Amino acid sequence: MKAYANTWRRGGALAVIVLGGWTGLGHDLYAATNGMDFEQVKAKARELASRPIREDRLDLAQKLREITYDQMREIRFDPREAVWRRERLPFQLQFFHPGGPQQTQIDVFLVDGDAVSELPFSRDFFSYGTNKFNWFDMRGLKFSGFRVHYPLNRPDVLDELIVFQGATYFRALAQNLIYGLSARALAVNCGGPGMEEFPRFRTFWIHRPDKEGAKMLVLGLFEGPSLTGAAAFLVKPGAQTVVEARVAVFARTDLPRYGIAPLTSMFWYGKNTARKFADFRPEVHDSDGLLMQTSAGEWLWRPLENDGRLRMSLFRDKQPKGFGLFQRERNFAAYEDLEALYQRRPSAWVRPTGDWGEGAIKLVEIETENEFMDNIVAFWEPANGLKAGGTAEFAYQLVWLGDDPALPPLGRCLATRTGWAGPRTKKFVLDLVWPTLAREAEGGKVEPVVHADHGKVNGLSSEFNPYDKTWRLAFNVTADDKADAVGVRATLKAAGQPQTETWTYLWRP
């Protein structure tokens, strides 16, 4: 193993390697001799969909399966063994050891032009701290995931850029940010009746980047009981890290509900949360709202909520222009957490390319009592599912970012606060900001527009806040007698034109 690792690190021609003890999905699926591209991975996924799913086997030794969190933290990849380190490429690969909660394993292939080479697991890649394992514990192991390093913030430091590990999860960073929300290649039956299905990546093909290049290609093959799929991720790091994504899905069984470009995050509580928790921090969340741009060009903002009940919202559309989970609150004083640093968590914006057809942006908000559960999911759900044997393909940009004045290019809601104003009546106080609002305020030209489905709006007021240069919009909503949910929309206009995004809220009396 060690000799083989040295071979690929030195560079030169890569060859297809077939190991005698290899237990992949079948040599016919992986015998690529002319490089590997997305179309080839699609062909493999299509062929794999015609077979019954191969049941996962827990090949890990008991000692690895039952390893504790602290023991797992002692197992570290040796950065001296990073792929492409000796070639001094700007992108380098490091890998994760299986064990504990990460028991699924992946096959990894390196692609260099027309040559494809399997990268086998080796314990020589890792240091184990105080852990003691014998050869029996390590037999047949594969990696559980990998991460890509790149000089993202400083030319002399290789920071983590993107990580692939677990199911079809991945997460990325842009400059001056730390890890927060995650993405997936696909969601299956999320927010639907019955159990959600989590397909997982089985194989990755990672293309060697150019020495002077600023992008890197990762191809993946995934499968679950009801489908198989191919994914391509072209990663372009920077002040905003852009991932050009293509995903193809092949249905093994009828697939009534699946989600494209799913984003997963955490929201425990924020300014708008009525539930109180015994915690010293004012707010705790990786994301605080869902931003959308409809096919008609309207910008929508939905603050996230954790009201102790499962919430699901559908925003129906045809060919949406974009959606994403955002962390708008960037002030440390809003969190007061010196370790989690929630003010530095990334936002993620999905920009569809090609034809997405009809469907809905779906937001799932799951009740939680702590910050350790990812309880927020947002994705595009096509209007029509897939029949067994059917296929679908989608392309999009996934942008990881901090703040962007063009998202949206209008006034935005910085804060949502709520309170009670009487029986079945809720008070809303919004703080909105945009340079034109301050100018329009001087002439008294701003017009608040508020509407409530299944409720009545009263007590409407709006005024400019000279202390922080925002516009404060306040109003009460009284729910109709039999209403169990009230949808509220608000915006500010001047001369009949929107000056802000449309703020939307789901209130359940």
For CA atoms 20, 26, 28, 30, the dihedral sign is negative
Q: Is the pLDDT of residue 286 over 50?
A: yes
Q: Quote the longest CA-to-CA distance of the chain.
A: 79
Q: Based on the number of CB atoms within 10 Å of its own CB, is 20 exposed (0-12), middle (13-18) or buried (19 or more)?
A: exposed
229-232-237 Cα angle (round to 5): 145
- Quote the pLDDT of residue 441: 54
Question: Do 507 and 460 form a contact (C-beta atoms < 8 A)?
Answer: no
Q: Is the pLDDT of residue 1 over 60?
A: no
Looking at per-residue pLDDT, the higher value among 54 and 344 belongs to 344
Tell me the per-residue pLDDT of 272-281, one tens digit each, with 9 for 90 and over: 998 889 999 9
Superfamily of domain 412-507: Immunoglobulins (2.60.40.10)
In angstroms, the CA 354 to CA 318 distance is: 12
- Quote the pLDDT of residue 469: 84
Backbone angles phi, psi at 508, to 5 degrees: -110, 105
- Residue 324: pLDDT band (50, 70, 90) is very high
Tell me the per-residue pLDDT of 224-269, one tens digit each, with 9 for 90 and over: 999 999 999 999 999 999 999 999 999 999 999 999 999 999 999 9
Tell me the per-residue pLDDT of 438-489, one tens digit each, with 9 for 90 and over: 555 555 678 899 999 999 999 999 988 888 888 999 999 999 999 999 999 9
Least confident of 8-12, 134-138, 307-311: 8-12
Tell me the per-residue pLDDT of 330-359, one tens digit each, with 9 for 90 and over: 999 999 999 999 999 999 999 999 999 999
> Strands 358-365 and 157-165: what pairing?
unpaired
Domain positions in the chain: 2-144+192-252, 261-384, 412-507
Q: Based on the number of CB atoms within 10 Å of its own CB, is 422 exposed (0-12), middle (13-18) or buried (19 or more)?
A: exposed
Question: Do 218 and 207 form a contact (C-beta atoms < 8 A)?
Answer: yes
What is the pLDDT of the chain when averaged over all its residues? 90
The pTM for the full model equals 0.91
What's the Cα-to-Cα distance from 66 to each of 74, 137, 146, 373, rounded to whole Å?
14, 12, 21, 21
- Residue 57: pLDDT band (50, 70, 90) is low
Q: Select from 119, 143, 105 the least CA-distant residue to 15.
A: 119
- Residue 8: pLDDT band (50, 70, 90) is very low
Q: Cis omega before residue 408 (within 30°)?
A: yes
In a 13 Å sphere around the CA of 103, the CA atoms on its Cβ side amount to 15
What mean pLDDT comes out for the span 360-388? Answer: 97
Q: Which two tokens stand for residue 389?
A: 């044997």
- Residue 32: pLDDT band (50, 70, 90) is very low
DSSP string, 327-386: -----GGGT--TTT-GGGPPEEEEEEES---EEEEEEEE---SSSSS--EEEEEEESS-B
Question: Do 150 and 159 form a contact (C-beta atoms < 8 A)?
Answer: yes
- Residue 133: pLDDT band (50, 70, 90) is confident
Which residue reads 């071979």 in tokens?
A: 7
DSSP string, 36-53: --HHHHHHHHHHHHTSPP
Tell me the per-residue pLDDT of 180-212, one tens digit each, with 9 for 90 and over: 999 999 999 999 898 999 999 999 999 999 888
Q: Select from 118, 115, 92 the least CA-distant residue to 14.
A: 115
Which residue reads 């493999």 in tokens?
A: 44
Q: Is the pLDDT of residue 42 over 80?
A: yes
2-144+192-252 has which CATH code? 2.70.98.10
Q: Based on the number of CB atoms within 10 Å of its own CB, is 414 exposed (0-12), middle (13-18) or buried (19 or more)?
A: middle
- Residue 7: pLDDT band (50, 70, 90) is very low
- Quote the pLDDT of residue 132: 87
Q: Is the pLDDT of residue 14 over 50?
A: no
What mean pLDDT comes out for the span 295-316? Answer: 97
What mean pLDDT comes out for the span 103-116? Answer: 94
- Quote the pLDDT of residue 212: 81
Q: Is the pLDDT of residue 136 over 90?
A: no
CB count within 10 Å of CB 127 equals 12
Grouping H, G, I as helix, E, B as strand and the rest as coil, residue 440 is helix
- Quote the pLDDT of residue 21: 27
What mean pLDDT comes out for the span 170-180? Answer: 98
Q: Is the pLDDT of residue 154 over 50?
A: yes
155-327-243 Cα angle (round to 5): 50
Beta bridge partners of 77: 126
Q: Is the pLDDT of residue 48 over 50?
A: yes
